Structure 1
Amino acid sequence: MRKWMKVAGWTAAVLLLAAGGGVLAGLQLADSRMHRKVEVRAPALAYVSDAQAIERGHYLFSSRGCVDCHGANGAGRTFVDDASAGLRIKGPNISPGPGSLVARYRPEDWVRAIRHGVAPGGRPLMIMPSEDYNRFTDADLAALIAYVRSLPPAEGGAAIVALPLPARVLYGFGAIRDAAAKIDHSLPPAAPVAEGVTVQHGAYVANMCLGCHGEHLAGGRIPGGPPDWPPASRLAPGKDSAMDRYPDSESLMRLFRTGKRADGSAVQVMPFTSLREINDTDMRALHLYLRSLPAPKG
């Protein structure tokens, strides 16, 4: 009996050491990933400043999630704060005010950061949903940049990305990826699509859903989200697709405007500050596209 107890004790010790070594390795890999250099060819877009472009940029900033992380004034906003889990995420100041992250941005730096999730020096931006923005047309990207550059100066600071130990280890081992690791950086900019209630325009609008709902809109755990966040809903056809509850565009619009499902229950995690700003054309086109997706085979 004593022999077996001794063996069990040594086995437990070895397993603990292995687990500790795995955690340490994960943290070292995470640090390496966070500071790697991502080579991206990002041709500069010419700055624009006309009223029409700024108005379009304002719409995109308000409706595509920028306001959720950076605040309406661009000064930065804490959008996840869970001290018990060791998780805090705050967007940086991107206004022209004191502490601005973008004060020295060149035209190509804007493209690299927004479209590719990469900082001017090549470091990946940890919390930047560039997979949602990668398919912006050149005109929309230029308009968004124009609006941000037109913001009144506001005081703010750098980004804060405090992740709990498990998230850092998972990131180190590649189970959680930053946007720069998800994007095909070789793709050319998206071709312009005429605005309208069409499947083609709906597909363009649906790019904003990729960060949470996944490349194929199949839903699942939101990468890097707090452990108490529910999984993102499935938007593609198939078993338990959320779109089964929204047979027409008006029902989806009510969800976006109110934050409540068709049965009246509140949705726990969705950026409704932005989603409620999406105009009717984009909403109807998005619904049309999601309902047009083919059902899974088998």
Structure 2
Amino acid sequence: MHAWLRGSLIAATVLATAAAGAAGFGLYRAEYKLDRRVEVPARAVAVPTGSAAVDRGRYLFTTRGCAECHGADAAGRFFIDDGGLRVRAPNISPGAGTVVANYRTEDWVRTLRHGVKPDGRPVFIMPSEDYSRWTDADAGALIAYMRQMPPAPGGGMVAELPLPVRLAYGLGVLKDAAEKIDHQLPPPAPVPEGVNVAHGAYVAQTCVGCHGAGLGGGKIPGAPPAWPAAANLTPGAGSVMPRYADAETFAAMMRSGRRPDGSAISTEMPFSAFSAMSDVDLQAMHLYLQSAPPRAFGER
């Protein structure tokens, strides 16, 4: 056998062994991470019972993506079904046997703000980073709404993850909900509702799961390959915001799913949620995005 061929075969064998070892380690780490316990300073919040709080909770459930994944009746549904990647959100209605049937108030807060289950294990797929800065009042309002919903038939979570996704998670490329959050931050102070930058920043938290904490957009980690990259919402290079110079144009896009030229935006954007947002929320978000710290496209 020629020396170069023998050397090539040896190198290929070493590479294959290393790749197999890395894959085995990645899969082991994935299982370990899913079963780890995350200590978080979860605490209860006041849960009001009045109609105003329930109405606010209903509004948050509809406009902040809860219904988009769990369904309008909270019974759960498949929200990703892309070849080998299938994910079903669990039933979170208050019926017997659902994942939230025995949730205490602090369990709701732990899941919403920290991406952690009552037993301390991380939630794998949930945009808790969108909700981690919710005020106590909004967290309490959502809980109040969820508790008064009628029970709905539905099953638990289903997560059928192809090998590359499991490897990416095990090797740290893809993060679970708990890994994306700074658990030591204190609860946020109340934000005055109105067409102001502070309220706009608060509303725009619902965008960070896809567009990144800095809202610079780019490829969404862990998303199916066919999904488009998230847009840059900041005033930085590659931003889409110059298309929406005024709040009216921005609101029209959020409610119709169409750009000013009439072309359709990907339906992966949760327009069923955004279309129900109030004028105040949309105007405030637009105001904030106009003044957000600039980032280049992909600088999440």
Query: Under TM normalisation by the shorter chain, which class is it?
Result: over 0.9
- Structure 1 residue 108 displacement after superposition: 0.8
SS at match of 1:206: helix
Q: Which amino acid aligns with 1:221?
A: K
Alpha-carbon RMSD: 1.4
Residue of structure 2 equivalent to 1:236: 234
Residues 260-288 of structure 1: per-residue CA shift (max 9 Å, x gap)? 12222222221111111111100000000
Residue of structure 2 equivalent to 1:36: 36
- Structure 1 residue 147 displacement after superposition: 0.5
Residue of structure 1 equivalent to 2:290: 291
Residue of structure 1 equivalent to 2:165: 167
Contact kept, 8 Å, 1:203 with 1:286, in 2: the verdict is: yes
- Structure 1 residue 296 displacement after superposition: 5.6
In structure 2, do the counterparts of structure 1 residues 274 and 296 end up closer, same or farther at CA, with 3 Å as the change threshold?
Answer: closer
Q: What number of residue pairs does the alignment pair up?
A: 295
Q: Which amino acid aligns with 1:208?
A: T
- Unaligned runs of 5+ residues in structure 2 are none
- Structure 1 residue 190 displacement after superposition: 1.2
- Unaligned runs of 5+ residues in structure 1 are none
- Structure 1 residue 247 displacement after superposition: 0.6
Residues 56-80 of structure 1: per-residue CA shift (max 9 Å, x gap)? 0000000000001110000001100
Distance in 2 (CA, whole Å) between partners of 1:262 and 1:248 is 11
Contact kept, 8 Å, 1:176 with 1:223, in 2: the verdict is: yes
Residue of structure 1 equivalent to 2:280: 281
Distance in 2 (CA, whole Å) between partners of 1:30 and 1:21 is 14
Residue of structure 1 equivalent to 2:248: 250
Between 1:230-239 and 1:113-122, the stretch displaced more is 230-239
Q: How does 1:260-271 map onto structure 2 within 5 Å? A: 260-268=258-266, 269-271=268-270
Distance in 2 (CA, whole Å) between partners of 1:122 and 1:168 is 21
SS at match of 1:122: coil
SS at match of 1:235: coil
Residue of structure 2 equivalent to 1:132: 130
- Structure 1 residue 98 displacement after superposition: 4.4
Given candidates 110, 113, 118, the residue that maps to 1:112 is: 110
Distance in 1 (CA, whole Å) between partners of 2:234 and 2:174 is 22
SS at match of 2:137: helix
Residue of structure 2 equivalent to 1:203: 201
SS at match of 1:219: coil
- 1:179 and 2:177 equivalent? yes
In structure 2, do the counterparts of structure 1 residues 246 and 17 end up closer, same or farther at CA, with 3 Å as the change threshold?
Answer: same
Contact kept, 8 Å, 1:137 with 1:192, in 2: the verdict is: yes
Percent of paired sites with the same residue: 55
Residue of structure 2 equivalent to 1:153: 151
TM-score scaled to structure 1, two decimals?
0.96
Contact kept, 8 Å, 1:33 with 1:172, in 2: the verdict is: yes
Could you list the runs of 4 or more consecutive aligned residues of structure 1 that deviate by over 4 angstroms after TM superposition? none
Given candidates 248, 257, 260, the residue that maps to 1:259 is: 257
Contact kept, 8 Å, 1:98 with 1:154, in 2: the verdict is: no
Residues 23-67 of structure 1: per-residue CA shift (max 9 Å, x gap)? 111111111111111001111123322111000000000000000
Contact kept, 8 Å, 2:249 with 2:260, in 1: the verdict is: yes
